[in-house]
Structure 1
């Protein structure tokens, strides 16, 4: 039932744009595999083999540390509505921090967010679709405002203090590079 493609086709793009949630998977050469749900207005398809996603400040920072060690990434979307489908993008990714020269150009693709922490620039190697017949129906009545409000309440200095406290190393002790020199 699974089909593989070399690029993101128009039908794939439409499917991705219709979803309210996606999942990101990364792993270093050792330690734990990280799978995180993502939402909000945080993803852009720039072409048939390129995707950007804006990573907002959160409780961990596993993805940045994993990519510093092994640049593999998988993105996955599931349809929770009428047409059952799972779509995965397999590729490699680079981390772009606010201090990096490419930040301003890439960040301009997204709405401003005080909690913006990194952008992941994904080179797509393969797209795979599969049936999704076992994925249940769910409704997404609205987006949560909790993360945005939390970041706004902290302010820029509070966000940086949070990064220093919670986002410098992973649960496996890997450095996330959040404060590395440019």
Structure 2
């Protein structure tokens, strides 16, 4: 069932993640995937989670992720503590995508939704891939949740749309 403003973020959401470290900062270096308990990690934070159909794909790489990177300071000014991009790609691909975008640290995460399990639970997946959507979670409560309905569009899930609703 899709999330909507006022809903509680589910308490059993676990993604896969490879934490960025300086010693594994090169794009050809592989870290070790670890479970990332989003429900626990985000329970007391303001978070923007946006999802894309696939890492390194045209709209995602040219428009969606760069918009969030560019607007990260404005999101922080609005109290956002974590920005996370989600795709059904494996955690190694997501880690490499973060490195390719020169994203470091733990305030912008590249997370894997294996088999689009979380996205599918929302009804926001298709063919084993995550949909293109954005969710704002404020201390466990959803305050914004929108999915794109037009292929290749970044209208309701982009950084500018999310900023307008913070």
Q: Which has the higher helix share?
A: 2
Q: Larger relative CO (CA 8 A, sep 6+): 1 or 2? A: 2
Is the radius of gyration larger for structure 1 or structure 2? 1
What TM-score does the superposition give when structure 1 sets the normalisation length? 0.27
What TM-score does the superposition give when structure 2 sets the normalisation length? 0.28
